[in-house]
Structure 1
Amino acid sequence: MTSSTLETIQVDTGPNPTISVIWLHGLGASGDDFVPIVRELDLTGLPAIRFIFPHAPTMPVTVNNGYVMRAWYDIVGADLSRREDEAGLRASQVMVEQLIAQEQARGVPAERIVLAGFSQGCAMTLQTGLRHPEKLAGLLCLSGYLPIHTTVAAERHPANQQTPVFLAHGRTDQVIPIARAEQSRDMLKSLGYPVEWHEYMMPHSVCQDEVEDIGAWMRRVLA
């Protein structure tokens, strides 16, 4: 097993966790970004969970004039569906796979691991989760989209065909328009994935109703 090269923050909800949630942040943020959400989630009735919040590598981001920041892949332009950084997406996919392997080495089976992410982290959750060769517990996808979508049908792994997908977006998102998320939803549904769609009156962020819906979804898929 290859140890992950990513630095992470770990938050356990109790001793001896039997579930892991790997939560990937968005562009320019860090693993710290979603740490506070742990105490806001209603995880009543679930066993102890280990939340893993990795820090993405730093790189120059083209759309931000080459400014160096934490990113899972480069953003070349405002139109996210054109000139995608496929090499960057695939390189980060390997790192996320290493995080999954690391949790398995600690005794958590793949079927008790949730991949979660916001924005770029959402894209990485779908990029990795749909291709992962073992069934995962669920894919939690917030305010993002399905990257390099033209390769998904050929590259997806049947192990995660029935893995629950929580897909959520803000109606007033000006960073990633909701239309892009709707296209991703429709493609996932056309490929037969069990997608649970949520939309909220919010921008590119997280709202309280969404936090409550995430908790309810996690209680269902991890029960």
Structure 2
Amino acid sequence: MKTHAIIFMHGLGDTPSGWSFLSRALPSYPNRDLAFVYPPAPTSPVTCNGGMSMTSWFDIINIPVTSSEPDTPAGYLDSVSKIHSIIDSVKSSHNLPSSSIILGGFSQGGAMSLLAASSYPESLGGCICLSGWGLSKSTSFPAWSTTHSKVPIFIGHGLSDNVVLPSLGQSCASEIEKGREGKEGGKVAKVTFKTYQGEGHGACEEELRDLALWIDEVTK
């Protein structure tokens, strides 16, 4: 019987197998009752790929991703709906409450994780964004400080990332943290923000160790 589930979304052009190593990379998990789910993104035309189709949670205009990237890109609402349905399915199949579900992702998948977790009807047990950025910030960020203020968040970013600029991860963490300031003590979850010197667009061993410690903490 599983006590928690981690749903983790891959990035642009990738497949679920690209991140299936995650359960093996987190050292304590062979002995933990955790379910890992790696959903596939739909295939659709992507502007930064010259309009050619590839796996993508939503359209991206330019690489590197900067603050000028659209806040509500084409296809994002369909993907949010799909992810919410996956959460519902995982809850049902493993008989778990929302508080035992952790939603995470890398790059484009990390952006979707922040958005889908903040718009889900119930608060999840945690949210992970690796090398990602914020979407639909006028609605998602306020939700992190109100209806979903108890959800712990892990945001990690390589300081040498030239695909999704590190400043985007920093601004996500800062804005969410700022929105939670001044709330009642003990009722607001921590935003953990970690940066990694020399890391590009990926996840180094140090980041995976930090993530493992964070997951251990939030699944106690």
Q: If the TM-score is normalised by the length of the shorter chain, which range does it land in? A: 0.7 to 0.9
Q: Distance in 2 between matches of 1:73 and 1:91?
A: 9
* Cα distance in 1 between the residues matched to 2:116 and 2:102: 12
The residue number in structure 2 matching 1:55 is 40
- CA displacement, residues 59-95 of structure 1 (integer Å, 9 cap, x when unaligned): 1100110121100000023445333443411110000
Match in the other structure for 1:89:
76
Matched, 1:196 2:192: yes
Matched, 1:37 2:22: yes
Q: CA 1:67–1:182 in 2, change beyond 3 Å: closer, same or farther? A: same
Q: For 1:50 and 1:118, locate their aligned partners in 2 and report how far apart those are by CA, in whole Å.
A: 18
Query: Corresponding residue for 1:210?
Result: 207
Moved more, 73-82 or 111-120: 73-82
CA RMSD of aligned residues (A): 1.9
AA partner of residue 102 (structure 1): S
Q: 1:134 aligns with which of 106, 122, 131?
A: 122
Distance apart, 1:125 and its partner CA: 0.5
Deviations 1:101-138 (CA, angstroms, capped at 9, x unpaired): 00121201110000010000100010011122212110
Q: Distance in 1 between matches of 2:190 and 2:80?
A: 22
Q: Once superposed, which parts of structure 1, at least 4 consecutive aligned residues long, lie more than 6 Å away?
A: none
Contact kept, 8 Å, 2:5 with 2:100, in 1: the verdict is yes
Residue 9 of structure 1 corresponds to none
Residue in 1 that maps onto 2:60: 75
Amino acid in the other structure paired with 2:110? C
Runs of 5+ unmatched residues, structure 1? 1-15
Identity of aligned residues (%): 29
Alignment TM-score, normalising by the size of structure 1: 0.87
State the aligned residue count.
208
Say which SS state the counterpart of residue 2 (structure 2) adopts: coil
CA distance in 2, matches of 1:95, 1:133: 14
Question: What's the counterpart of residue 221 of structure 1?
Answer: 218
Q: Does the CA contact (< 8 Å) of 2:141 and 2:176 recur in 1?
A: no
**d(CA) in 1 for partners of 2:175, 2:14:** 28
TM-score (norm 2): 0.88
CA change 1:208–1:134 in 2 (3 A) is same
Contact conserved, 1:44 with 1:219, CA < 8 A, in 2?
no
- What is the CA-CA distance between 1:45 and the residue it aligns to? 9.7
1:113 aligns with 2:109: no
